[in-house]
């Protein structure tokens, strides 16, 4: 059975692979470059974000845009920039380049940042975890530069990494010139691009442990602990809100990339150029209320649940179970119960020996030929290669059964 199997339903899966698992419709939640392929719900757009210069409301699971206003306009974004900074930090953590208990030293340059800060002194050392807390909760410009230097060696190299990431995600309306969003030339993004960046950041499960904090302290063991209060007040006052980043400069006005989760449904709302923080918070609240009242998440597979059995050639076992490593959902409209897009699984027979955790295919959700989301499928157990004697025995048994059936 060479090549890839493309499966759209459980009957076809059972005929081709012989698995007892019911496939139904399959889903994957996008990551990496796939996150840039985003669909738009075809229903009439609601009247939202009236005073925002630009806005987007997006389902985090599938990337479906539920509302958009001037979503591709290039605008200053102030400290919402730090979403990209945090994304690079968590990617560095994921690949083991840095660790939460790393001691991050503050350079003279990092300590010189103005605006929102945690008042780092030149030469002061703080753990990476504490620096992240300063960035996520207090929007600390000094911590953002210190962390950038720790990861990349210099701010300029880190900014190059930020722009490389924007290109990798397919962002067309984004360019960074610093890691903190302080006013500088050639530094901009769009509501759409920020929603895509937010969606990619939320792939990292540990992020909301920081962005969802309303208050905490730094330098807890010192004589003068530093009290942090989240610049996003909706963390405290909106049910399910757990991020992500506010921003304000006189040029950018009031901005927010927000994330909220209720049950299994997570939404991202981005507003740029709001006249006041009160209006910003009110309009994001309205956007989230609309999303949670009109949509739900339809569970397809829980994290770690077996998706199907994949054939194994020359293996002691003739099939192995595969699973996704994240919970999979489809976006569902509460009014008519329709779902956005359709899901397809692609797998190929494996050849023993097979390792536990080996890539075996993928599950994708598609709409209009575009990949909205994608999850790889991994084997849940190892399969050793069958001996030559056993292979001969299998062949003889197969020949006997074929002969008996004539």
Domain boundaries for CATH 3.40.710.10 within the chain: 37-298
Predicted local confidence at residue 136, as pLDDT? 97
Burial class (CB in 10 A: 0-12, 13-18, 19+), 175: middle
Please tell me the pTM assigned to this model: 0.82
Active site residue 215: no
In words, the CATH class of domain 5-32+305-389 is mainly beta
Q: C-alpha dihedral over 33, 35, 40, 46, to 10 degrees?
A: -140
Tell me the torsion sign for CA atoms 328, 332, 337, 338.
Answer: negative
For 168, other C-beta atoms within 10 Å of its C-beta total: 13
Which candidate in 69, 82, 165, 253 is catalytic? 82
C-alpha 373/C-alpha 35 separation (Å) is: 7
Domain boundaries for CATH 2.60.410.10 within the chain: 5-32+305-389
Which candidate in 54, 139, 177, 189 is catalytic? 139
Which candidate in 25, 54, 61, 79 is catalytic? 79
For 380, other C-beta atoms within 10 Å of its C-beta total: 16
Any idea which residue has 């004539």 for tokens?
406
Tell me the torsion sign for CA atoms 65, 290, 53, 240.
Answer: negative
Predicted local confidence at residue 251, as pLDDT? 97
Predicted local confidence at residue 22, as pLDDT? 30
C-alpha 103/C-alpha 319 separation (Å) is: 47
CA 91 to chain centre: 11
What are the two backbone dihedrals, phi and then psi, of residue 58, each rounded to the nearest 5 degrees? -135, 140
Predicted local confidence at residue 403, as pLDDT? 63
Q: Which two tokens stand for residue 250?
A: 């006189």
Active site residue 82: yes
Residues in the chain: 406
| CATH number of the structural domain 37-298 | 3.40.710.10
C-alpha 76/C-alpha 53 separation (Å) is: 11
Active site residue 103: no
Predicted local confidence at residue 404, as pLDDT? 61
List per-residue pLDDT tens for the chain, 406 residues long: 334 555 543 333 333 333 323 333 332 333 333 334 445 565 556 789 999 999 999 999 889 999 999 999 999 999 999 999 999 999 999 999 999 999 999 999 999 999 999 999 999 999 999 999 999 999 999 999 999 999 999 999 999 999 999 999 999 999 999 999 999 999 999 999 999 999 999 999 899 999 999 999 999 888 888 999 999 999 999 999 999 999 999 999 999 999 999 988 999 999 999 999 999 999 999 999 999 999 999 888 888 999 999 999 989 998 999 999 888 888 999 988 888 878 888 898 899 999 999 999 988 888 888 888 888 899 999 999 987 777 676 667 767 766 665 5
Phi-psi region of 274 (alpha: psi -120 to 50; beta: other; left: phi over 0): beta
């Amino acid at each position: 059975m060479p090549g890839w199997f493309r499966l759209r339903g459980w009957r076809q899966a059972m005929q081709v692979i012989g698995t007892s698992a019911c496939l139904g419709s399959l889903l994957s939640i996008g990551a990496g470059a796939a996150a840039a392929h985003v669909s738009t719900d075809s229903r009439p757009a609601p009247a939202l974000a009236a005073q925002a210069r630009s806005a987007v409301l997006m389902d985090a699971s599938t990337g479906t845009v539920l509302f958009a206003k001037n979503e591709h306009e290039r605008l200053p974004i102030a400290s919402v920039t730090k979403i990209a900074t945090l994304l690079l930090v968590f990617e560095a953590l994921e690949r083991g380049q840095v660790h939460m208990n790393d001691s991050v030293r503050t350079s003279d340059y990092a300590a010189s940042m103005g605006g929102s800060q945690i008042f780092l002194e030149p030469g002061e050392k703080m753990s990476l975890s504490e620096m992240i807390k300063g960035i996520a909760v207090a929007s600390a410009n000094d911590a953002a530069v210190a962390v950038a230097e720790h990861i990349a060696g210099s701010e300029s190299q880190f900014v190059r990494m930020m722009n490389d990431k924007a290109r990798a995600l397919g962002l067309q309306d984004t360019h960074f010139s610093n890691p903190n969003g302080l006013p500088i030339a050639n530094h901009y993004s769009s509501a759409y691009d920020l929603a895509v960046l937010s969606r990619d950041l939320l792939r990292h499960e540990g992020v909301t442990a920081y962005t969802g904090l309303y208050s905490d302290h730094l330098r807890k063991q010192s004589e003068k602990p530093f009290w942090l209060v989240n610049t996003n007040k909706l963390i405290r006052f909106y049910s399910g809100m757990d991020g992500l980043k506010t921003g304000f400069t006189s040029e950018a006005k009031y901005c927010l990339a927000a994330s909220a989760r209720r049950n299994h449904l997570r939404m991202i709302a981005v507003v740029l150029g709001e006249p006041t923080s009160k209006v910003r918070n009110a309009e994001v609240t309205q956007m989230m209320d609309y999303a949670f009242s009109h949509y739900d998440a339809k569970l397809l597979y829980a994290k770690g649940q077996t998706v199907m059995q994949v054939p194994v050639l020359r293996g002691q076992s003739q099939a192995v179970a595969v699973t996704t490593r994240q919970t999979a959902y489809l976006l569902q409209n509460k009014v008519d119960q329709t779902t956005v897009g359709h899901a397809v699984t692609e797998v190929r027979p494996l050849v023993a020996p097979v390792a536990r955790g080996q890539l075996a295919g993928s599950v994708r959700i598609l709409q209009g030929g575009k990949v909205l989301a994608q999850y790889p499928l991994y084997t849940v157990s190892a399969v050793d290669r069958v001996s030559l004697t056993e292979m001969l025995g299998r062949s003889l048994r197969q020949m006997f059964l074929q002969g008996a059936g004539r």
